[in-house]
Amino acid sequence: MPWKLYLDSRRRVRGTRGDTDTDFAVQMPYPITVSGKCFVDVCLVGNSFYTIRADCDRIYLVEDSPTQSLMPRVAFLAHGQYSVYELRDQIVIALNTNKIITGQYACTYVTATNRYVISMLNGVLGDSFTIWMEEGLRGVGTSWFAIPLPGGEPKSANRACGLLDGMSLDGTYIAPVIAPNAPDVQPYKQLFLRSNLGGGSAESLGVNGESDIIRRIVVGNTPVNAVIHDVHSNALDCVTINGKPEFTQLWFQLVDVDGKVVDTHGLPISFSIIFVSLDE
């Protein structure tokens, strides 16, 4: 006979795992023995994700001015949720903070081409800049111009800003640059729910090799700060329980395509799990 388990991250065990709404454990009211298959049914997740966050908040650039040359600099964007126009304004703030060029950076969003254009206002002869693209940053190792990369990763905002393809963009006081790719202000398109219920099942293999993913959650067209309401609809999207394990606690993680735990900024997640015996 199928039975159901309803879960909400607000009922997590304090002090266990990450103790957040996306990395938590729940305590069973009594030990449960599970077997057969489990289906993660309807998932509710608040779309409170940030466009710019700690793992993607940097622009890497090298500047020249009449008084200084080839000065590498990391520009930091403020964390938050942004539309393409709001992100445009944050790019301007980040580029102009601690600049060495004489002029001021400007950025426009061209709706017809869906691209950012970065230029210079009031620049003088000798003012120029080079923005390093994501493709160029991939091959620099653990440091960039002797600047250590945090955890060996650039943590750049290049995807959000449309700065992906190519090695670099070179601009001067009279020559603006055009981002080669469209800006991407939607933080996530899909998320993955990991759990000890996965138990290393060979039926489920994540994009990073994870074997404990029990559900993919599609973000789709959910507006910012609305609820992602992802309804399970595929009978084959299940996980077979290995043996008949007994659990007193279950843990869950909500991760992105890179396997990193996402942040809902205090908003809970909830879902239900349906257990079905293989003998039925």
Among positive and negative, which fits the CA dihedral 94, 97, 100, 103? positive
CA distance 102 to 142: 31
Q: Is residue 104 part of a domain?
A: yes
Q: Please check whether residues 100 and 150 belong to one and the same domain.
A: yes
Q: Please check whether residues 174 and 193 belong to one and the same domain.
A: no
116 in Cβ contact with 107 (< 8 Å): yes
Q: Please check whether residues 156 and 220 belong to one and the same domain.
A: no
Q: Is residue 87 part of a domain?
A: yes
CA nearest to 70, candidates 135, 126, 152: 126
**What HEC string does 89-100 produce?**
HHHHHHHHCCCC
CA nearest to 252, candidates 175, 195, 209: 195
Q: Please check whether residues 82 and 27 belong to one and the same domain.
A: no
Tokens matching residue 234: 């595929």
Q: Please check whether residues 69 and 19 belong to one and the same domain.
A: no
Three-state DSSP at 161 gives helix
Q: Please check whether residues 113 and 198 belong to one and the same domain.
A: no
Q: Is residue 262 part of a domain?
A: yes
End-to-end CA distance of the chain: 7
CA distance 255 to 20: 12
CATH assignment of the domain containing 225: 2.60.120.1100
Q: Please check whether residues 213 and 116 belong to one and the same domain.
A: no
Q: Is residue 183 part of a domain?
A: no
User: What confidence category does residue 200 fall into, taking pLDDT thresholds of 50, 70 and 90?
Assistant: low
CA distance 205 to 26: 24
Q: Is residue 147 part of a domain?
A: yes
- β-partners of residue 61 are 73, 131
| pLDDT confidence of residue 140 | 93
Q: Is residue 259 part of a domain?
A: yes
Q: Please check whether residues 38 and 81 belong to one and the same domain.
A: no
CA distance 170 to 174: 11
User: What confidence category does residue 105 fall into, taking pLDDT thresholds of 50, 70 and 90?
Assistant: very high
Residue where a domain terminates, one of 125, 157, 178: 178
Is pLDDT larger for residue 106 or for residue 200? 106
| pLDDT confidence of residue 235 | 78
Q: Is residue 138 part of a domain?
A: yes
Q: What share of the chain is helix, strand, coil (3-state, %, to 5)?
A: 10, 40, 50
CA distance 274 to 87: 41
Whether the per-residue pLDDT at 280 is higher than 60: the answer is: no
Q: Which domain holds residue 129?
A: 58-178
DSSP classification of residue 136: H
From residue 36, how far is each of 173, 213, 261 by CA, in Å? 66, 16, 28
Residue where a domain terminates, one of 124, 146, 178: 178
Q: For 230-276, write each residue's pLDDT tens digit.
A: 987 777 888 888 888 899 999 999 999 999 999 999 999 999 999 99
Residue where a domain terminates, one of 139, 154, 178: 178
CA distance 68 to 51: 33
117-144 average pLDDT score: 95
Q: Please check whether residues 240 and 218 belong to one and the same domain.
A: yes
The domain tally of the chain equals 2
User: What confidence category does residue 35 fall into, taking pLDDT thresholds of 50, 70 and 90?
Assistant: confident
Percent of the chain at pLDDT exceeding 90? 79
Q: Please check whether residues 38 and 67 belong to one and the same domain.
A: no
Q: Please check whether residues 84 and 159 belong to one and the same domain.
A: yes
Q: Which of 174-178, 221-225, 252-256 comes out lowest in average pLDDT? A: 221-225
Q: Please check whether residues 217 and 168 belong to one and the same domain.
A: no
CA nearest to 244, candidates 41, 39, 37: 37
Whether the per-residue pLDDT at 201 is higher than 70: the answer is: no
Most confident of the following: 2-6, 55-59, 209-213: 55-59
47 in Cβ contact with 239 (< 8 Å): no
Q: Is residue 35 part of a domain?
A: yes
Q: For 107-119, write each residue's pLDDT tens digit.
A: 999 999 999 999 9
CA nearest to 230, candidates 241, 242, 243, 215: 215
